Amino acid sequence: MLRSPFRLLVFLTVFIVPTSGWAQVAEGLIKGNLLNTKGQPLENISVSLKKAGMGVNTAEDGSFQLRAGAGSQLLHISGLGYITQELTVDVVAGKTTTVPALTLAINPHQLSEVTVTETRTNNQRPTSISKLPIASLDLPQSAVTIERQVLEQQQVLRLSDALVNVSGLYVTSTTGGIQEELGSRGFAYGSNNTFKNGVRFNNGVMPEASALERMEVLKGSTAILYGNVAAGGVLNLVTKKPQFERGGSVGLRVGSYGFFKPMVDVYGAIGSSEKAAFRLNGSYEQSNSFRDEVQAKRVYVNPSLLFELTPKTTLVLEGDLLRDNRTPDFGIGAINYEIQPSRSRFLNVAGARNQTTQTSATATLTSRLTDIWQVRAVGGYQRYDNELRSATRPVASGVAATYGNLTRGLQRTETGENYFLAQLDLTGKLRTGRLEHTLLLGADADQYQTTTLAYNNPASPTKANTAISTFDIINILDRSKIIAQPAERLNGFEDLVRHTLTQGNTRRAGFYAQDLLSLSEKVKVLAGLRWSYQETPSDVYYYNTVLNTNNKVAGTFQDNRRFDQAFSPRVGVVYQPIKTTALFASYANSFQPNAGQDANGASLAPSTFDQYEVGVKNDLFHGLLSANVTAYRIVNDNLAQTYLGLLTGADGKTAPNLNTNIKELAGQVTSKGVEVDVQSKPMLGWTVITGYSYNHTAYTRSNIYENGSRLRYNPAHTANLSLFYNFGNAFGNSTFLRGLTAGLTTYYVGDKMAGRNTRQYDPLTGKPFVDASGNPTTDAFKLISIPNYTLFDASLGYTYQRYSVRVKLANILNELSYNLHDDNSVNPIAPRTFSATASYRL
C-alpha cells in the first residue's frame, strides 16, 4: 500500500547529488546594467535566456550577470510596467561579455501584455516570514514559498488546495466544517502559528485565498522569531500589494453544487500621484454542498494603500473584512469508533448556523537607513466575532452501537476577540575583521482580549438538580425511523441559558537577536536568542450552575492569573561545497505555556521542545530545479500530564488525585521524520512541484497513554506531484495555442488516525485501570484509522488578449475519505467536482 510514496522518495533523492560531477557545457558570462529613463538603476527586473528559459533578476544597483552556453543567445528582459526588450548576445566560452547599459521605458498602457516570471529558485528567494534578508540557501531550516502563478494555475479556492504543494504540511481536521485546522511535523498550528502579512490571525474561519500573492512556510522551530508557537512551523499568507501601474481584473467562478463567486481586483496610482497607490480585492461567495442541508455565504474585502513617504521610506496600510455564514456540520457520526461510510448524511438540527466576522488593519513602515541597514515597524489590529448555534457533537461512544440511535442536545456560544500587535525589526550587515555579519535585532508585543459566553441546559421544572439536555433522538443509519422522545425536551436554542462569561487578556512581549556569521564563502553559522514573557489573566463569571461539577455559585467571579517567561536559543551551521548546494544542521528550543497547577498549588511551568534538523538544499541543472531534503527530531521532554500521586487534604489524610487540572511535567512526546521538496522553474513550457513526507509522532513516556502510541491527526505519509504545461512554448507566439495551459495535481495521504488514544489511568478513581482479575488494562477509548486516499485534479486554461477561462475537475477518481476531530466530527472529503472561472483583465 505504501510502495508508491517510497518509490517517489527514491526517485527524488537522486536529485540530491550535486551537479559538479556532471558533464560540463562550454559557457561564458553575460554582464550588464539596466536603467530607467531617468538614469536610475532598476532592481528586480527579469533577465533570462529565452531559449533555455533560465535567468536572474537585477540587483539593487541594476546589475546582472548570467551564465550561458557559448554561441548566439537571445536575452529576454521584462519588468512589470516596462516595455519588454530582447537582445542578441554572442557568448564566448570562458570569457565575459559585457552588455552596454540598457534603458527600459515605462509602458503602463500595455501592462496587461507583460508576463512576469520569478527567475530565482525557491532556494535563492528570501522569505519575509524568516525576517532575515538572506536567501533560503543560507538558512539552516526548511522553507517553501508558493507563488501566485501556482495558486492561479491550480485554481486554489481554500487553503487546503494550496497545502498540496508543501510536503509535511497537512489538514489535521475540519471541525464542524467551518475551518481547516493545520498541522506539521506532528503538531497542530493553531492561531499562534498562522500569519497574514506577518501578523497573527484567528484561523477559526477559513481565510480567503483569492487575495493571495504567495504562501510562505517556515518549517520547524520559529520560537526565536515569534515566541509562543507550536513546534511544527509557521505559515504566512501574503496578500496582493498596491501598484502604481493601473490594472486589475474582474472574474466569475462557478462550480458544482450551486457554487457562485464573482471577484474583483483593481489597482493603480491614486490620481496622477507618483507617491501613492491603492489596491482593492473583493469577492462574494455562495454555495450549497454535497452534504445534505449545508449552505454557505461569505463576503470578502481587502483594501490596501501604499505611500512612498521618502525615496527610502514606504508605508503600506492594509485592511481585511471577512463575513462568513455557514451551516455547522459535524459530519456523519461514528458508532463504537467505527465510521459508517457516507458522503451526505447530515446530523445537525434545523436552524443551526455558524456566523463569523473577522476584520483587521495592518500598517507596515519600512525605511532603508543606509544601503545595508533597514528598519521595519508593524502595527496590527484584528477583531474576531463568532456565534455558534448547533446540535451537540455526535460522539462515537454516545451513539447506540446496536441500533445507531443518537441523542441530540444543543450548544450555543458567542465569542469575541481583540488582537493588537506591535513589532520592530532592524536588519543589516557589518564586518568585523574578515567576518561578515547579517544581523536581526527585534522586539514585539501583542495582546489578546477575549470574551466567551457559553450557554447551558436549563433546569428541569420537575426534577431537582437535573437539567433538560435532550433536543431529540434520531437514528443516524435511518433518519425516517420513529423513536420515542423524552417527556421533557429542549424546544430550541432559546431554551438554553447563560452559563459562564470568560474574559481573557493575554499579554506577551519578546526581544530577540540573530546573527548569520559568514566564516568563509562556504561556511556560515546562524545563532540567536529570544526572551519571551507572557501574562495570562482570566476571569470567569458564573450566570448559571446547573450540573456545574466545580460547585460554583451563580453570580460569582473566579479570578485566574499566571505568568510565564522563557529563553529560546537557536544555532545552525550551513556548509556550501559549491554555490548551488548547502548542507545544514541546526538546534532550536521552543516553549508552550501550560494550564493547571502542580501538586503544591503553583502554576505549571511551560513545556519545552528541543528540535534537531539536518538537511541538504540543492539547485540543479543551472537553477532550473530546486531539490531539498530535511530530516528532523523534536522532543518534548516535560509534557504536562495529570498528577497520579496522592494529595494531602486539609484533614491531613491522603487520597488519589481526582482533579485533572492538577498536573506534573513528566511526560514525553517525540516526533521524527523526513521531508522532500522539489520545485522547478519553467523549462520548455513545463513546471514541476513534487514532494514527500514521513512523520512518526508518539508518546515515548506517559502515565496516561500507552508508550509508543501515536498522536492523532498526523499522517505518516504524504506525497504530492503537480505538473503544468504551457503550449505556447511549443507552438510559438503566432499560433492560437499560445495561451493554452494544462495542469495535473495529485496528492496522497496515508496512515492517518483520529478517535481517542486509549488511557491506562481512570480520572474518576485516580488509579490505573484494572480488569476483574486486577490485571492492568485500558479504557474503552479507541483510535480510528482514516482510509488512505489519493486525489487527482486536472485543469485547463486559455488566455486570449485580456480574456481568460480556466476549468478544473477535482478528485477525478471520486475518492472517499474523511477528516476527523476526535470521534465527534467525521467530515467526508469532497467528491468529484467541476468548476470554471472566466476573467477579464482591466
Identify which has the larger pLDDT, 119 or 791: 791
pLDDT digits (tens, 9 = 90+) for 217-254: 999 888 899 988 888 899 999 999 999 888 999 999 99
pLDDT of residue 433: 87
- Do 827 and 174 meet the contact criterion of CB atoms below 8 Å apart? yes
Q: Which of 295, 407, 409, 403 is nearest to 340 (CA)?
A: 403
Confidence category of residue 651, pLDDT binned at 50, 70, 90? confident
Identify which has the larger pLDDT, 194 or 732: 194
- Rounded to whole angstroms, how far apart are CA atoms 517 and 527? 8
Q: Which of 277, 343, 339, 334 is nearest to 308 (CA)?
A: 277
**Mean pLDDT, to the nearest integer, of 263-269?**
95
pLDDT of residue 258: 95
559 backbone dihedrals φ, ψ, rounded to 5°: -100, 125
Region of poorest pLDDT, from 98-102, 120-124, 184-188, 349-353: 120-124
**Mean pLDDT, to the nearest integer, of 713-741?**
81
- Rounded to whole angstroms, how far apart are CA atoms 767 and 777? 11
CB neighbour class for 479 (10 Å; exposed up to 12, middle 13-18, buried from 19): exposed
pLDDT of residue 416: 96
User: Going from the N-terminus, what domains does the chain have, and what CATH number goes with each?
Assistant: 23-113 (2.60.40.1120), 128-239 (2.170.130.10), 247-342+357-435+445-841 (2.40.170.20)
Query: 453 pLDDT exceeds 70?
Result: yes
- Do 492 and 532 meet the contact criterion of CB atoms below 8 Å apart? no
CA 160 to chain centroid? 9
Query: 117 pLDDT exceeds 70?
Result: no
- Do 605 and 637 meet the contact criterion of CB atoms below 8 Å apart? no
- Rounded to whole angstroms, how far apart are CA atoms 776 and 352? 44
Question: Which residue in this structure is represented by grid cell 538544499?
Answer: 617
Confidence category of residue 595, pLDDT binned at 50, 70, 90? confident
Identify which has the larger pLDDT, 411 or 37: 411
Region of poorest pLDDT, from 49-63, 79-93, 256-270, 327-341: 49-63
- Please state whether beta strands 96-98 and 663-680 pair in parallel, antiparallel, or not at all (unpaired): unpaired
pLDDT of residue 684: 81
pLDDT of residue 19: 40
pLDDT of residue 489: 93
CA 561 to chain centroid? 31
pLDDT of residue 401: 82
- Do 68 and 91 meet the contact criterion of CB atoms below 8 Å apart? yes
Query: 3 pLDDT exceeds 60?
Result: no
pLDDT of residue 731: 57
Q: Which of 524, 584, 619, 615 is nearest to 18 (CA)?
A: 619
CB neighbour class for 55 (10 Å; exposed up to 12, middle 13-18, buried from 19): buried
Query: 6 pLDDT exceeds 50?
Result: no
Identify which has the larger pLDDT, 52 or 289: 289
- Do 48 and 55 meet the contact criterion of CB atoms below 8 Å apart? yes
Residues paired with 435 in a beta bridge: 432
CA 60 to chain centroid? 31
Region of poorest pLDDT, from 80-94, 284-298, 489-503: 80-94
**Mean pLDDT, to the nearest integer, of 670-685?**
91
pLDDT of residue 5: 45
Query: 686 pLDDT exceeds 80?
Result: yes
N residues, the chain: 842
Model pTM above 0.75 = yes
Compute the mean pLDDT over every residue in the chain, rounded to the nearest whole number: 87
Count Cα neighbours of 730 within 13 Å in the Cβ-side half-sphere. 8
pLDDT of residue 242: 93
pLDDT of residue 388: 96
Confidence category of residue 353, pLDDT binned at 50, 70, 90? very high
- Do 189 and 232 meet the contact criterion of CB atoms below 8 Å apart? yes
Confidence category of residue 25, pLDDT binned at 50, 70, 90? very low
pLDDT of residue 371: 82
Identify which has the larger pLDDT, 833 or 602: 833
Under the phi-then-psi rule, with left for phi > 0, alpha for psi from -120 to 50, and beta for the rest, what region is 21?
A: alpha
Query: 21 pLDDT exceeds 50?
Result: no
As given in the structure block, the three cell numbers for residue 308 are 512612498
Residue 584's alpha-carbon distances to 136, 138, 142, in angstroms, are 11, 9, 10
As given in the structure block, the three cell numbers for residue 433 are 575583521
- Rounded to whole angstroms, how far apart are CA atoms 403 and 333? 13
The H or E element containing residue 225 is helix 223-226
Quick one: what percent of the chain has pLDDT higher than 70? Answer: 92
**Mean pLDDT, to the nearest integer, of 707-713?**
92
pLDDT digits (tens, 9 = 90+) for 195-213: 999 999 998 999 999 999 9
pLDDT of residue 811: 97
Q: What is the DSSP string of 749-765?
A: EESEEEE---BSEETTT
Confidence category of residue 23, pLDDT binned at 50, 70, 90? very low
Count Cα neighbours of 391 within 13 Å in the Cβ-side half-sphere. 24
501 backbone dihedrals φ, ψ, rounded to 5°: -120, 110
SS3 of 400-440: CCCCCEEEECEEEEEEEEEEEEEEEEEEEEEEECCEEEEEE
- Do 30 and 73 meet the contact criterion of CB atoms below 8 Å apart? yes
550 backbone dihedrals φ, ψ, rounded to 5°: -85, 0
According to the per-residue pLDDT averaged within each range, which of 78-87, 349-358, 634-643, 730-739 is highest?
Answer: 349-358
Count of C-beta atoms within a 10 Å radius of residue 657: 19
3-state secondary structure of 638: strand
pLDDT of residue 556: 63
pLDDT of residue 418: 96
pLDDT of residue 273: 86
Helix ranges (H only) for 681-748 are 728-731
Strand order in the sheet with 187-188: 169-173, 181-184, 187-188
Q: Looking only at Cα atoms, what is the longest distance across the chain?
A: 98
- Rounded to whole angstroms, how far apart are CA atoms 655 and 662? 13
- Rounded to whole angstroms, how far apart are CA atoms 195 and 237? 6
